[in-house]
Structure 1
Amino acid sequence: MSLRHVGATAFGAGLLACTVLLVTVGPVAASTDAFCAGPRRLAEFALRGVQAWPPTLLYTDGCNDITLRPSVLWTGVVSVLGLVLAGVGQATGN
């Protein structure tokens, strides 16, 4: 099996798993639920932290802190790596 096929399979499997997880359990693992008066501006959204193990992403919308699910992040990483592998396989002509 060529590198291009392995990458395409990993991309498809990661994308499918990510979509199923987003629909069934949602992207948010934890969130604070403080009331925010007035509309939110884009400038108020900020990345608060990134943890390597387990892969966790924490961001804020100005009032609340939101943590994304590690399972959703893992499947997204698998999709990106599959896309890179497929591109390398296509470029090398395997």
Structure 2
Amino acid sequence: MKISFPSCAPEYCAPDLALTFRALVDDRPVECSITAEALEDHFGARSPREEDLVRAFMAHRADIELAAQRLLNAVDGKPVTLHSGYFRFCN
């Protein structure tokens, strides 16, 4: 399975308190997301406000995309959400 991540900016999803970003799995778009809690707990986001989450995401994008790639591989390329617990137990 070939997984890549376009360099587009993540999108803020207020109802879910998360950022969404796109992966390409065998050239097929797949939605990924990371929760505000994960960004605060593991990547230094100062608050769940959009600008703080995006700043933390951009500063740690490579690590977040690597985690998403691992999870995408584990679930055969289906959409994934990175929660704080994933980073707590998988790092």
Normalising by structure 2, what TM-score?
0.32
Structure ranking higher in strand proportion: 2
Structure ranking higher in helix proportion: 1
Q: For the pair shown, which has the larger CA radius of gyration, 1 or 2?
A: 1
Higher relative CO (Cα under 8 Å, sequence separation at least 6) belongs to: 1
